[in-house]
Structure 1
Amino acid sequence: MRATRREFLQWTGLVGLSLGAGCSGALRAGGAKRPNIVIIMADDMGFSDVGCFGGEIATPNLDRLAAGGLRFTQFYNCARCCPTRASLLTGQYPHQVGLTVNGRSLTRNGLTIAEALRRAGYRTGMAGKWHLSLTPVLPDAERHQAWLDHRYDPQQPFAPLETYPVNRGFDKHYGVIWGVINHFDPFSLVEGTEPVRSVPEDYYFTDAITDKAVDYIQDWAGRSEPFFLYVAHCAPHWPLHARPEDIAKYKDTYKAGWDQLRADRYRRQVATGLFDAEHTPLPPVQTRGRSWETLSDEQKAFEARKMAVHAAMVDRVDQSTGRILEALGRAGQLDNTVIFFLSDNGASPEIMHGPGYDRTGHTRDGTPVMYDTSPIELLGSERTYMGIGTPWASASNTPFRYWKQESFDGGCHTPLIVHWPTGLKTPPGAVCSQVGHVMDLMPTCLELAGATYPDSYEGHALTPLMGKSLGPVLRGRTRDGYEALFFEHVGGRAVRMGDWKLVAFSRTQDRWELYNLADDLTETRDLAAQHPDRVRAMAAAWGQWAQSVDLPVAK
């Protein structure tokens, strides 16, 4: 039997060990018009990729949101695509709503933000990546690969139709059901429940979902009801695909290598007050044995091109954000729209070596896709299938260690920007170090909308919310935080209590590491040997939580 958060904390004796203190209360003044809500999520974007978080990538629109809004420096996600999406949309730990691993369907014991807001009178729309449906594999491997390559139609949906976004609270959805795509010709593209069988020659997914988001805003502009818009990018998730004009902007940017990139980003983070050097020491780039200095000139050029394509993808996400801001402005809706921008996990070290499962083998016209290497001028086109790899991922996640999938902060830390001209009570450009989690967005949206969370929905009993509203923080106050936050994904695991964090690497699950984040936010000094009693207590708490969410690892 699953436990509520309060029951669990009472069992483990953790009540009162809060990550913050604060207050509660309605976000809107009495009689104020309910705000529109827009959530924009990047995919596999590093913590420091955006300019206002230390990056060199041109992100003027996101920087504009930050300058007029609020940035969070200690906000957590679930370290990977599906779990973060599940947690964000339902206010639960992902394990509670079917997403213990990737590629599963969101279960009905969790209410989505769209379902909650639609029942409260909001119009709801989604543009982009869903990745919360069971993804079927055809029994014939050759036919499955041909399906991925748009060269075979099995005459079946991409996933069970009842799990599609339009059947989970969204009035409309344009985007992909699966999680990995050719950005120029995506697999599993749908409008509502209907497959989109072809795309124009100049198609690019980031632009296409932005077109739809703008259309939605224009359609809603003349209506009296507020709206909820969820824009879920696939960029900059591999494969590295970007428009040539965007790549060209960064052709010389990364020639100094990943060590210099990490140092430069950290210097900007400290200079702008995001972090202080005393309590946030900078670990070196994690390269898994690859040194920039030992690479040949040809290898350096190839690596620099990969990071240039990654930057181009982030740049285009920023351009998308700019177009959404323009649409809101034209509609007269910008001032009373709450915008959240974040990433689903840290930058990814993954490099795929061949097609299969969700990866293309050919373009639609039958041209083979190149993995591992290609002529440098083709890198970034749909004829190639690359990832940035470990060193660049480490640099992208400055100042943290590790990357996507891990429960170290490089994997589960997200840059979060909140912008709301008429409602945000913090000073413009403020930086917030209060601890939060993506599961806080659901209860925050409920509070913004004046909506309630029911005991059941459409005949399904609902699990109580685990997230906590960010309302007090948006009002410029300190909120009651979490007694404990828990993490687990494919063996990586962690628990944070106050400033202490206990964490294990996914490949060494039997060894816990302990960090005091008040003095060592970047997890560089393992204190497990000095504090064995604390390790045992926190490990026991994590085990209790794991049992409460039916994690097999705890059995």
Structure 2
Amino acid sequence: MNFSFSCACLCVLLLSSIARADDRPNIVVIMLDDLGYSDLGCYGGEIQTPNIDSLAQNGLRFTSFYNCARCCPTRAALLTGLYPHQVGLIRNGRSLTRNGVTIAEALGQAGYQTAMAGKWHLSQTNPIDDRQKQLDWLNHQADFDRPFAPLDTYPAKRGFQRHFGPVWGVVNYFDPFSLVDGTEIVKEVPDDFYMTDAITDKAVDYIEAMSKKDAPFFLYVAHTAPHWPLHAKPEDIAKYEKTYVEGWQKLRDERYARMIEMGLIDPQTYPKPQLQGEGPDWQAMDDEHRKHMAQLMAVHAAMVDCVDQGIGRIVETLKATNRMDNTLILIMADNGASPERYLNPGFDRPNKTRDGHKIQYEGVFNPGSETTWGYIGSYWANAANTPFRYWKAQSFEGGTHTPMIAHWPGGLKTRPGSLTDQPGHVMDVMPTCLEIAGAKYPKTYAEHDITPLEGKSLSAILRDEKRAGHDQLFFEHEGGKAVIADGWKLVQPKQNGKWELYHLAADRTETMNVAGDHPERLQQMKTNWQTWFDRVKPAN
């Protein structure tokens, strides 16, 4: 054998291998928190989201994409490609277990740079036993020299080479609790700090830093917005001062009509359900309360608007670093809009600001500032989830349905602005990332056996092909249950435990419960759900 020739061949092979690796796409996954299904302009909303809309106009929108109905479960499924129950998230506030790998861990092994800006919410959140000490901790009035959760559960210990953001799930947007940079506590923030902008700033910094190297990158941008408390900058709120003064029914009607006009829905298969909520309807309130409720929704809109502004900055940075064409961007939400109204401080809700000002949780007030913790409530949440029923934490479509946008100039083969009704699920993101990165899903990682993937790659859909998707999709969160199969959906509401059956192929908005007409189908789907749950639920 000619030794010099062999070495030369080997060098060529190595260089060509490196070149191919350098050509692998960057991946940016952007998650919004408690976003209404139709909040975005490209999904029928009135909120100003021109940057997201532009990505949709030049990309692909999914109209049958699912999450896990709440923050922690969705994030667990997204990052691991498994059902949340399989990796410790049978309920909120637990740590992601080691029998699954994160996208960051899997792609890091394949030579990707990895970074995360934003909310984690996948670590055990243990409060202090003493309530006053807990409040002092939340209020930044005391430093108990303790981590916010076990350090080995932080993003920096789960494959992310860079991370900035809150470990817990709820934040004061102007002075957040549980903020970390890597594993270091960020004890103070600038006077002009705003959480959404800070997440964007870090995402931009990370792109600029990672773009200086040849290796591709995976960036997870996990926004806290528009999750309560309703905190926004005055200039953003001002844009929506008059937008919601005619109430939630008007909003729902206008969004529904716009979605039909845009071709997002067919009124024959998406009949408009009755608006649902708790408390007095719009006309039953006096002028003062109507004004207050309109202001609450205005702040929600302002928070979404600010996220969109940040996505515009991320896009401009990708262009400036010549990374845009070969970057897959995915935008989605962790669940539907939220009806939650917590009217007392405690656990993750402070009662005072850092400088001692009391925080107002209830009553009629001008929302948006650090001293008010407002919530949109159930009527606005249902309207924000048009055309669907219900909201966050329920397994109805309004809880589990998310907008999902894919944009990838160098790799997407669908016609710009296309819609796809092929179903997908957040757990499909992991295998999609693996496939387009040419990475393998490990059987073991860090001396732990790894549970086989449940998700299925979306790559065929991105290539404008029909994919072999999931035969069935299952849902469970704190008593809300569902299974989707063959165009049918069996769902059990959290509030009464009675199974309901809907023919989604003809009734996507779940308006006609046909459980009494199909007892055999109901029983078979119920059995299938139980078999699945017995398989994925933790042993203890």
Q: 8 Å contact 2:21–2:215 — kept in the other structure?
A: no
What is the CA-CA distance between 1:31 and the residue it aligns to?
8.4
Which of 410, 417, 420 is residue 429 of structure 1 equivalent to?
A: 417
What is the CA-CA distance between 1:375 and the residue it aligns to?
3.0
Q: 8 Å contact 2:22–2:216 — kept in the other structure?
A: no
Indicate yes or no: 2:368 matched with 1:386: no
Where do 1:147-546 residues align within 5 Å?
147-376=137-366, 379-509=367-497, 511-546=498-533
Q: Distance in 1 between matches of 2:279 and 2:518?
A: 31
Q: Could you say which residue in structure 2 is the equivalent of 1:14?
A: none
Q: Distance in 1 between matches of 2:384 and 2:79?
A: 26
Q: 8 Å contact 1:401–1:409 — kept in the other structure?
A: yes
What is the CA-CA distance between 1:551 and the residue it aligns to?
6.1
* Partner amino acid, structure 2, of 1:112: T
What is the CA-CA distance between 1:288 and the residue it aligns to?
2.4
Indicate yes or no: 2:98 matched with 1:108: yes
Q: Could you say which residue in structure 2 is the equivalent of 1:89?
A: 79
Q: Distance in 1 between matches of 2:370 and 2:519?
A: 52
What is the CA-CA distance between 1:344 and the residue it aligns to?
0.3
Q: Distance in 2 between matches of 1:461 and 1:112?
A: 14
What is the CA-CA distance between 1:360 and the residue it aligns to?
1.2
What is the CA-CA distance between 1:66 and the residue it aligns to?
0.1
Q: Distance in 2 between matches of 1:117 and 1:81?
A: 23
Q: Distance in 1 between matches of 2:125 and 2:97?
A: 14
Query: What secondary structure does 1:370 align onto?
Result: coil
What is the CA-CA distance between 1:491 and the residue it aligns to?
0.1
What is the CA-CA distance between 1:87 and the residue it aligns to?
0.2
Q: 8 Å contact 2:70–2:334 — kept in the other structure?
A: yes
Q: Distance in 2 between matches of 1:254 and 1:551?
A: 44
1:42-101 residue CA offsets vs partner (Å, 9 max, x unmatched): 000000000000000000000000000000010000000000000000000000000000
Q: Distance in 2 between matches of 1:133 and 1:49?
A: 29
Where do 1:6-155 residues align within 5 Å?
33-155=23-145
Q: Distance in 2 between matches of 1:550 and 1:104?
A: 14
Q: 8 Å contact 1:57–1:314 — kept in the other structure?
A: yes
* Partner amino acid, structure 2, of 1:296: D
What is the CA-CA distance between 1:32 and the residue it aligns to?
8.5
* Partner amino acid, structure 1, of 2:37: F
Structure 2 unaligned blocks of 5 or more: 1-19
Q: Distance in 2 between matches of 1:284 and 1:186?
A: 38
* Partner amino acid, structure 2, of 1:121: G
Q: 8 Å contact 1:206–1:317 — kept in the other structure?
A: yes
Q: Distance in 1 between matches of 2:44 and 2:401?
A: 15
Q: Distance in 2 between matches of 1:140 and 1:162?
A: 25
Q: Distance in 2 between matches of 1:421 and 1:495?
A: 35
Q: 8 Å contact 2:35–2:226 — kept in the other structure?
A: yes
* Partner amino acid, structure 2, of 1:235: A
Q: 8 Å contact 1:259–1:284 — kept in the other structure?
A: no
Q: Distance in 2 between matches of 1:116 and 1:72?
A: 26
Indicate yes or no: 2:537 matched with 1:550: yes
Q: Distance in 2 between matches of 1:492 and 1:150?
A: 36
* Partner amino acid, structure 2, of 1:225: A
Q: Distance in 1 between matches of 2:251 and 2:362?
A: 23
1:364-415 residue CA offsets vs partner (Å, 9 max, x unmatched): 0011100112432xx1001001110000000000000000000000001000
1:10-36 residue CA offsets vs partner (Å, 9 max, x unmatched): xxxxxxxxxxxxxxxxxxxx8881000
* Partner amino acid, structure 2, of 1:139: D
1:107-166 residue CA offsets vs partner (Å, 9 max, x unmatched): 000100000000000000000000000011111111011101111111110000000001
What is the CA-CA distance between 1:290 and the residue it aligns to?
2.3
Q: Distance in 1 between matches of 2:253 and 2:533?
A: 37
* Partner amino acid, structure 1, of 2:465: R
Query: What secondary structure does 2:402 align onto?
Result: strand
What is the CA-CA distance between 1:289 and the residue it aligns to?
4.7
TM-score (norm 2): 0.95
Q: Distance in 2 between matches of 1:323 and 1:434?
A: 30
Query: What secondary structure does 1:385 align onto?
Result: coil
Q: Which moved more, 1:284-293 or 1:352-361?
A: 284-293
Query: What secondary structure does 2:435 align onto?
Result: helix
Q: 8 Å contact 2:126–2:149 — kept in the other structure?
A: yes
Q: 8 Å contact 1:38–1:340 — kept in the other structure?
A: yes
Q: Distance in 2 between matches of 1:284 and 1:159?
A: 42
What is the CA-CA distance between 1:549 and the residue it aligns to?
1.3
Query: What secondary structure does 2:433 align onto?
Result: helix
Structure 1 unaligned blocks of 5 or more: 1-29
Q: Distance in 1 between matches of 2:125 and 2:441?
A: 29
Query: What secondary structure does 1:414 align onto?
Result: coil
What is the CA-CA distance between 1:291 and the residue it aligns to?
1.4
Give identity over the alignment, percent.
58
Q: Distance in 2 between matches of 1:275 and 1:469?
A: 25
Query: How many residues are aligned here?
Result: 522
Q: 8 Å contact 1:135–1:158 — kept in the other structure?
A: yes
User: CA 1:289–1:353 in structure 2 vs 1: closer, same or farther (change >3 Å)?
Assistant: closer
